[in-house]
A and B are shown apart, each in its own frame.
Chain A
Amino acid sequence: MTKKTKGKEGQLSRREFLRDAGLVVGGATAVAMPLLAACDSPTTATTTATATTTVTVTTAPITTVTTIPTTTVTVTAPPTVDPPATASAISTIELTVNGLKRLVQIEPHQTLADMLRDTLGLTGTKVGCDRGACGACTVLVNGKPVLACMMLAIEAGETSVTTIEGLAVKGELSPLQQAVYDHTGYQCGFCTPGLIMEATALLAEKPQPTMEEMKAAFGGHICRCGAYYSFMESVTLAGGK
């Protein structure tokens, strides 16, 4: 008899790892917290109304109670609880998204990409691989390009995040967005928001980047349509504007 424990036997995906880490309450979270800049702030580590949450473990019969600074979580097995198996420690973070102050409830395992897309409905940020390999999810955190699928939402507390939705001012496209549109610097457009964010950061530093500088800056982005040259031409057109 074979019991499958994971979608892909024997492999633990990062997402599952994160979820389970959250479940073990976590364990990982509590230890990691002091390391997370976001959690140094009292506003970011506040708990929700539920001080004690019962969480189910699905992969191993772990029964443990761990105390973390502001939340106590009991982990029990086997699964019996509704709602969600992942209703682990929910925290609230405060951050600026596209110029607006937001208070966002997040779970410890949630990535910034998931928070933007699922919680805030900012679906312009695309997830192409969810493993830091394609660049599609690139957003700006404090002006720097970041892979939103590789950053935990909790790390984004007290930062300023800009997504593709935040580039246009009062409906007027940024010069780069306009150039990409005018020049058809895309094909299917799925990789385009990530590229535009990366290029926005590049242009802020180097208003007229060379081809080689662009190749280096965009090296982490995959475009399976091959809109490589047209995108770089668009950036050149937007340069200096």
Chain B
Amino acid sequence: MPDELSVIGKALPRPGALPIVNGTAVYVRDLKMPGMLRTHILRSPHAHANIKSIDTTAAEQYPGVAAVLTYKNLPSEWPAGYGSGNHIRILNEKVRFVGDPVAVVAAETQAQAEAAIALIKVEYEELPAVFTIEDALRPGAPVLHEAYPSNTLPEAPYEYGDVDAAFAQPDVVTVEATSSFIAEIPSVGYIEDCGTIAWWEDDRVIVIRTTQNSPTTLSKIAQFTGLPVTKMRVMSPRFVGGSSNIKENALKDLEFAVTLSKLAGRPVGVFLSKEESFLQYHKERMSISYKFGLKPDGTLVAVDGAASGEGAAYNYTASANAAATHLCYVAYFPNLRFSQLNSVFTNNPPGGGCRGYIYQEAEWTAMHALQQAMETIDIDPYEFYMKNTLKLGTLYYYNKWLTCDCDPITIAAAKAATAFDWKDKWQGWQKPSSVAGHKVRGVGIGWGGNGCGNFTSYTATVALSNNGTVSITPSEDEFGNGNRTNPWRQAAEVLKIPLDSVKGPPADTDAQPFYAWQTACGTFSIGRAIKRAAEDVRRQLLEMAAPTLGVKAEELDTKDRIVYVKANPTQTLTWSQIIPSQTSIVGTGTNIAEQGRFPEIICAFAEVEIDTETGDYELVNAVLATDVGQIVSPQDCEQQMIWSLVMDGTREAYVQDKATGRVLNPNYLDCKSRTFADLPNFESIITETPVVDAPYGAKSLAECIGVPLTPAITMAIYNATGKLMDLPIGPDKILAALGKA
């Protein structure tokens, strides 16, 4: 019988979080380095233009100005280390979207930096611009990057099984569908805007940044400076705002702070405004065509597809690949072929990883299209998804053939269907679930996930000291989800000590033995390494105590910093009696990545109410469900589920001037996000079916949460109105669908 768990799965306050409630939590913007210069960025007013001339003389002479950076004075020894193929530099002679940085001033005060920016004279040669995937792919379209004359970055085709043979079976129904995510472009909209403080110590650059992954920041610096990683250090400010949002990629606060601090020889802080954050980064648009093959009973047989994803101006992390790889989380096709996968350059603000790396976009697009297949054979979507989802024992393909060794969803989904009352509410395709005067309700389901389960390799150490300290390295950046301290629970559980007695330094790449990309897989990848390190140090401790206690190490156990003989718990030694004075014993543990294993799948049931007079709609009921194997931190688990409401892509959208490409609403006021006032009745159902080979049976739960609610709402609106709509969905589209606009 397993030991009773005392830390894992218990509702405990997060260690080290007191500063969040008493106002002493320090985020990047709260820090001031002595002598730190402030900055302001000059941005392009054109979507596509060559810089014919740029005159910074007046700006350089302006009081307080320490340095003006343009493409002309980038350190010449630095390589092209930017863009999808590291084919351009951090500032270039060409601008590719409205808001693309042109020059940056570092000055004593913010006001001086802003004033000096106004003195820079730039002459642009405007070029024709393209704002849609279709326009960018047209023959003769303006070319954004000379290195990519067709405006595409082709990706490797993705295929498994035998698609042609599958379609040739006699009873296969074929449905062709084209689906596009997304008419407009929502931003991440994180609460804390990006910022970087950088300074140089001799030939080594030190950076403090709003990052959720310091080691990734390190590799970015290495890319654009060409310096070895030993010449840089990235430190966490300890608190990073805006849970689970990617702050890594496009905003250039990092690049400018590093470069300007080198030019000026002083610390430089680059802090972006909300508008700048909104303007520079957004979700990827996708355009995908599918041919689905399925049996009349709804069993999926094959899919043949082609996908384009919009990497926009620079394409940092955008890709079309998820259109193929992530279908297995929506519904599993035993035969699949995507012979064409492209990311496409356009003159929109850069697109890429944002609320997860393209999962939401790719999976929404798939569900939007699959819905048409479901309706063709008239199957209940709940039945359809339950039939085709990955289950314990399913042989599936994710870059290689794998056997699903957990039940990611079916138990949880069945509970959710009951909680939501799906059977009663589902009336059939294009049928409202209820009508009361001008209030019409519809219901829908979304289903998806990702394979972050064991995404990265990781090595951790756990040290026990004579003075009783338990210290874990390395530490992760904490950006809200408990990423830093939830894996510590594994060590506290192994050593049977209170969670709040475990310590770790703030994230610091000087203390990271490896530079792993670990985002969104903390529970599993990091947790397993830490658990193994704790087991290793526990073993050493018991072996050291055994001779004194006169028994074998296996006959010993430890709890609350005391080692005792299991058969005679009064026979004890304290840790400080075992560990020699002024020393520590150190355990190490390593996890090796197994990408695609331990899939995370989550489903959402949504009920919306539409006002047929105003076109307004409201999410009234939402139930989300998943299986996590074992809950590690109940509050964090629950809150991550609720995060789906924030990630809902049906509401927020940029409004873009179609002629110039300018984003017209780069702020919270005009780009509506859900606040307290818009909360539905919400239930999250988290089941625990322990996963063999996972640390304490626990799987990760993170980015997949962003996936299912948006398609569930889209389907619900479809059933209420009878019209399939692109995102975002506002009263205008609903009234048009109802024939009232």
Contact = CB atoms under 8 A, between A and B. Distances in A.
Nearest to B64: A82
Contact of A227 (B30, B240, B276, B639): B639
A4 B120 contact: yes
A188 B239 contact: yes
Interface in B1-32: 11, 13-14, 17-27, 29-30
B592 interface: no
Given A7-B114, A123-B30, A184-B13, A173 B21 contact: yes
A229 B114 contact: no
Contact of A133 (B45, B109, B669): B669
B675 interface: yes
Q: B123, B124, B243, B481 — which one has the most chain A CB atoms within 10 A of its CB?
A: B243
A124 B27 CA distance: 9
Q: B114, B190, B479, B669 — which one has the most chain A CB atoms within 10 A of its CB?
A: B114
Interface in A163-194: 163-165, 167-168, 173, 177-178, 180-184, 186-193
Interface stretch (B36-44, B158-166, B283-291, B331-339): B36-44
A230 B21 contact: no
Nearest to A182: B13
Contact of B480 (A3, A215, A220, A225): A225
B64 A83 contact: yes
A164 B669 CA distance: 25
A180 B25 CA distance: 14
Interface string B611-649: 000000000000000000000010110110011111000
A-side interface size class: 35 or more
Contacts of B275: 8, 13
Nearest to A171: B22
Contacts of B225: none
Nearest to B242: A224
Contact of A188 (B123, B240, B633): B240
A79 interface: yes
B682 interface: yes
B122 interface: yes
Contact of B42 (A4, A58, A136, A164): A4
A50 B408 CA distance: 70
Contact of A186 (B17, B24, B26, B244): B17
A226 B705 CA distance: 12
Contacts of A201: none
B468 interface: no
Interface in B259-281: 273-276
A161 to B, nearest CB: 13
A215 B239 CA distance: 27
Interface in B94-131: 99, 108-109, 111-112, 114-115, 117-124
Nearest to A131: B667
Given A221-B675, A222-B675, A230-B638, A134 B191 contact: yes
A59 interface: yes
A180 B677 CA distance: 20
Contacts of B19: 189
Contacts of B398: none
A79 B273 contact: no
A117 B274 CA distance: 18
Contacts of B22: 124, 164-165, 167-168, 173, 177
Contact of B191 (A59, A122, A163, A190): A190
B675 A85 contact: no
Contact of B635 (A130, A168, A190, A230): A230
B63 interface: yes
B62 interface: yes
B211 to A, nearest CB: 13
A26 B42 CA distance: 27
Interface secondary structure of B, over-half rule? loop
Nearest to B239: A189
Interface string A92-116: 0000000000000000000000000
A4 B122 CA distance: 8
B192 interface: yes
A1 interface: yes
A173 B20 CA distance: 12
Interface string B236-252: 00011111110000000
Contacts of B576: none
A81 B170 CA distance: 84
Contacts of B63: 56, 79-83, 85
A165 B274 contact: no
A51 interface: no
A186 to B, nearest CB: 5
B78 interface: no
Contacts of A203: none
Given A83-B64, A164-B23, A225-B643, A128 B192 contact: yes
A16 interface: yes
A34 interface: no
B117 A186 contact: no
A46 B328 CA distance: 70
B679 interface: yes
A36 interface: no
A135 B740 CA distance: 36
A81 to B, nearest CB: 6
B242 A188 contact: yes
A181 B190 contact: no
A181 B122 contact: no
B668 A134 contact: yes
A122 B22 CA distance: 11
A186 B21 contact: yes
Given A167-B23, A173-B21, A227-B639, 13 more contacts: A1-B123, A10-B45, A131-B668, A132-B669, A134-B191, A180-B21, A188-B241, A188-B480, A215-B679, A222-B191, A224-B191, A226-B646, A228-B642
Interface of A: 1-10, 13, 16, 19, 56, 58-59, 79-86, 117, 122-134, 136, 163-165, 167-168, 173, 177-178, 180-184, 186-193, 196, 214-216, 218-230, 232
**7 nearest interchain CB pairs?**
A124-B23, A188-B480, A190-B241, A189-B20, A164-B23, A219-B677, A225-B243
Interface of B: 11, 13-14, 17-27, 29-30, 40-43, 45, 62-64, 99, 108-109, 111-112, 114-115, 117-124, 189-192, 239-245, 273-276, 478-481, 633, 635-636, 638-639, 642-646, 667-669, 673, 675-677, 679, 682
13 contacts: A2-B123, A3-B118, A4-B120, A19-B114, A58-B119, A85-B111, A133-B668, A134-B191, A164-B23, A180-B20, A187-B481, A189-B480, A222-B668
